[in-house]
C-alpha cells in the first residue's frame, strides 16, 4: 500500500495575524511557519504508524507551494516519510490545490491519501473532499481512527453528538483529526536524514481558480472586559441576564 500525505505550510499557532498591500496579503515578515498541525500530528504520523506496522510500503509527502515551502516539507520529512513532491504553484484556491494533489495521486497510484482536517490559516476543510471527488474515490472526513486490513479500511469519524464507524475499500481519501495519532518530535537522526530524502519539484497542471481572495479584515477590537468584584457575584449573573441576555 502506498500512502500520499498532504502537508501545508501555515503560520505558527502563536503568530501575529496582520495584512499588507491594502489588506490583500498576509504579512509574513517576522512570522515563523510550521507544518499545519493537523497534517503533521495526525495525517503524517498515522501514515508512519501504518508503515511501521508493515501495512504500507511507501509514505510520500506532497505540498502545493513555492520554494519557501521547502523548509516545511523537510521538517515533515524529519518526522518521517520516504520521499516528497512539491507542486510549484502559489494559490489560495482550494480547487486549484486539490487538482494538483489529485493529479499526483493518480499518476503515483496511491491507495490512501491522508490530509489534516483543515489548515489553521484558511480553515476551509475542503482539500480532502475535493481530491476524493476528482479521483472518484470514497472520502471519510474528520476521522479519529483508521484501521487497514488488506484492501479494506475501517474508519471512525466524528459526527454531531457522537461518532460513526464505517468501512470502505481502497483507494480512499481520509481527513484526520485528534485521536488519529499522537504528535511526534523529530530526533537528530530524522533531521539529518531528511536533508537527503528526495524532494521532487513538479510543474502544476493547468487549472482555473474557482475563487479568489478579495481582501482580508481583522476583527473589531473587543470593547474591553467588564470586571465584577469577587464579592459581587450576583451582579455578574444580573449582567448576563439583563445586559448580555444569555441566561
Partner 1 sequence: MVLVFVDCADGVVKKQSYEVLCYGAALARQQGVAAQALVLGTVADAGTLGGLGNFGVTKVHHLEGNALQHFDAQVFAKTIADAVIGLGASVLVLSHTTTGKALAPRLSVRLGAGLVAGAVALPNTDAGFVVKKAVFSGKAFAHVSINTPIKIVSLNPNAFGISKTDNLAEVETTSPQVAAGRVVVKAVNRITGTVPLAEADLVVSGGRGLKGPENWHLVEDLAKEIGAATACSRAVADAHWRPHHEHVGQTGGAVAPNLYFAIGISGAIQHLAGVNRSKTIVVINKDPEAPFFKAADYGIVGDAFEVMPQVIAAVRKLKAGV
Phi, psi (degrees; rounded to nearest 5) at 60: -110, 145
Q: Compute the least distance from the CB of residue 87 to partner 1, in Å.
A: 17
Whichever of 201 and 237 has its CB closer to partner 1, that residue is 237
64 vs 127 by CB, closer to partner 1 = 127
Q: Which residues contact 121 (CB under 8 A, 6 or more apart)?
A: 8, 10, 11, 26, 36
* Residue closer to partner 1, measured from CB, 189 or 245: 245
Is the Cβ–Cβ distance between 73 and 7 less than 8 Å? Answer: yes
Query: Are the CB atoms for 202 and 85 separated by under 8 Å?
Result: yes
Number of CB atoms found within 10 A of residue 23's CB? 15
Of 188 and 220, CB closest to partner 1? 220
CA distance 20 to 189: 39
All 3 cell numbers of residue 132? 476524493
Please state the closest distance from residue 4 (CB atom) to partner 1, in A.
Answer: 17
Q: Which CB, 83 or 95, lies closer to partner 1?
A: 95
Q: What is the DSSP letter of 89?
A: -
Cα distances from 177 to residues 15, 27, 55, 159, in angstroms, run: 22, 28, 21, 12
Interatomic CA distance for residues 39 and 110, integer angstroms: 17
Closest CB 117 distance from partner 1, rounded Å: 8
Helix (H, G, I), strand (E, B) or coil at 19: strand
Cβ within 8 Å of residue 192, ≥6 positions away: none
Closest contact distance (angstroms) between CB of 184 and partner 1 is: 15
> Between 88 and 154, whose beta carbon lies closer to partner 1?
154
CB of 190 to partner 1, least distance (A): 22
Query: Minimum distance from CB of 145 to partner 1 (Å)?
Result: 12
Amino acid at each position: 500500500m502506498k500512502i500520499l500525505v498532504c502537508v501545508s505550510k501555515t503560520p505558527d499557532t502563536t503568530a501575529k495575524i496582520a495584512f499588507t498591500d491594502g489588506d490583500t496579503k498576509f504579512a509574513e515578515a517576522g512570522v515563523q511557519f510550521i507544518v499545519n498541525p493537523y497534517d503533521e500530528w495526525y495525517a503524517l504520523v498515522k501514515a508512519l504508524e501504518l508503515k511501521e506496522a508493515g501495512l504500507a510500503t511507501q509514505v510520500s509527502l506532497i505540498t502545493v507551494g513555492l520554494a519557501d515551502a521547502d523548509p516545511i516539507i523537510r521538517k515533515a520529512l524529519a518526522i518521517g516519510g520516504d520521499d516528497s513532491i512539491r507542486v510549484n504553484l502559489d494559490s489560495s484556491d482550494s480547487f486549484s490545490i486539490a487538482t494538483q494533489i489529485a493529479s499526483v495521486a493518480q499518476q503515483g497510484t496511491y491507495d490512501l491519501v491522508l490530509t489534516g482536517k483543515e489548515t489553521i490559516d484558511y480553515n476551509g476543510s475542503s482539500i480532502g473532499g475535493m481530491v476524493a471527488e476528482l479521483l472518484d474515490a470514497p472520502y471519510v472526513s474528520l476521522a479519529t481512527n483508521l484501521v487497514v486490513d488488506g484492501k479494506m479500511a475501517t474508519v471512525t469519524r466524528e459526527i454531531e453528538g457522537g461518532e460513526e464507524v464505517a468501512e470502505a475499500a481502497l483507494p480512499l481519501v481520509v481527513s484526520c483529526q485528534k485521536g488519529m495519532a499522537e504528535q511526534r518530535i523529530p530526533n537528530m537522526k530524522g533531521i539529518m536524514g531528511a536533508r537527503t530524502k528526495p524532494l521532487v519539484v513538479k510543474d502544476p497542471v493547468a487549472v482555473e481558480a474557482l475563487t479568489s481572495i478579495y481582501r482580508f479584515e481583522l476583527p473589531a477590537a473587543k470593547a474591553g472586559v467588564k470586571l465584577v468584584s469577587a464579592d459581587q457575584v450576583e451582579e455578574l449573573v444580573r449582567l448576563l441576564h439583563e445586559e448580555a441576555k444569555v441566561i
